[in-house]
């Protein structure tokens, strides 16, 4: 009897195997950043520590995730420039992306949006409103609780992008083609939220820090867990895109999905339609 483990992979099991995702870790202190995303994403994550100059040498991934950071996307630092360049090429190659906080801002910047300093902090459990039209937040209430910590924001979404989530501080979610960004931190647990908040000593008034810490409780965390559904929604989207790619050449001769030759930009995802209308985790200013 043939050992199935020695068989060549078939199209069927390629479609069901675990996703392989590049985790572009932009946090200066790697700390729990990788662990947080590994806990939430049911996929094989390959971590690259971007501030150390570590970037993938290939686009052979099913998708990419860009994390939070204590940096600002407009800083003139070599690693930020290199990250932007790689991300731009990977987006052009057709890789799906999810950006969180700093990652959200970096993707907006790469795609032609505008990121600016807010002159203040949004921090703690906050309410965000979504329009109910974007698949990333399928199953999430129109008004939902999230943990936030940032002093930069996406002031203008990229041309052609759809904004699907906001609050009084600005844009909290956008999509353009295969790129999704969210300003809040769905990956945080209460330990991370506490460490990040305590790390604001010297930047924020003691009274405000104490108020945020008081709000980091089981009730607010449970409410914020609703937004974690976006991880499963993103993986479902990525799996669909991989299956499209596996269907074979299109009538133009370019493989559907990711073009590994990196000679063309893929078409807009037609499966989604939106209205036009660290002490151990880095968190300041962008993340």
Distance CA 285, CA 70 (A): 5
Residue with tokens 């607010």: 220
Query: Which tokens hold the place of 158?
Result: 């990229």
Residue 152 burial (CB count, 10 A): 23
Taken in order 65, 68, 73, 78, is the CA torsion positive or negative?
Answer: negative
Distance CA 266, CA 254 (A): 9
Query: Residue 53: left if φ>0, alpha if ψ -120 to 50, beta else—which one?
Result: left
Find the Cα–Cα–Cα–Cα dihedral 199, 202, 208, 214, rounded to 10°.
Answer: 30
* Residues with a known catalytic role: 101, 185, 187
């Amino acid at each position: 009897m043939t050992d199935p483990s020695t068989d060549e992979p078939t199209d069927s099991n390629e479609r069901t195997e675990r996703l392989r995702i590049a985790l572009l870790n932009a946090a200066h202190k790697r700390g729990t950043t990788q662990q947080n995303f590994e806990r939430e994403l049911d996929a094989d994550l390959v971590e690259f520590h971007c501030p150390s100059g570590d970037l993938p040498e290939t686009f052979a991934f099913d998708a990419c995730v860009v994390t939070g950071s204590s940096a600002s996307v407009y800083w003139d630092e070599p690693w930020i420039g290199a990250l932007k360049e790689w991300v731009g090429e990977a987006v052009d190659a057709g890789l799906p992306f999810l950006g969180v906080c700093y990652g959200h801002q970096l993707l907006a910047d790469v795609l032609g949006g505008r990121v600016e300093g807010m002159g203040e902090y949004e921090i703690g459990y906050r309410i965000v409103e979504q329009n109910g039209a974007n698949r990333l937040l399928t199953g999430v209430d129109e008004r939902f609780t999230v943990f936030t910590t940032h002093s930069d924001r996406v002031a203008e979404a990229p041309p052609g992008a759809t904004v699907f989530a906001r609050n009084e501080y600005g844009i909290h979610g956008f999509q353009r083609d295969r790129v999704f960004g969210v300003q809040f931190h769905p990956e945080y647990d209460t330990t991370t939220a506490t460490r990040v908040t305590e790390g604001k000593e010297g930047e924020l008034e003691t009274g405000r820090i104490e108020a945020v810490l008081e709000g980091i409780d089981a009730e607010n965390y449970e409410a914020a867990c609703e937004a974690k559904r976006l991880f499963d929604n993103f993986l479902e989207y990525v799996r669909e895109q991989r299956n499209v790619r596996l269907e074979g050449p299109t009538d133009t001769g370019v493989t559907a999905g990711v073009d590994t030759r990196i000679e063309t930009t893929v078409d807009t995802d037609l499966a989604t339609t939106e209205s036009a209308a660290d002490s151990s985790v880095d968190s300041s200013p962008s993340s």
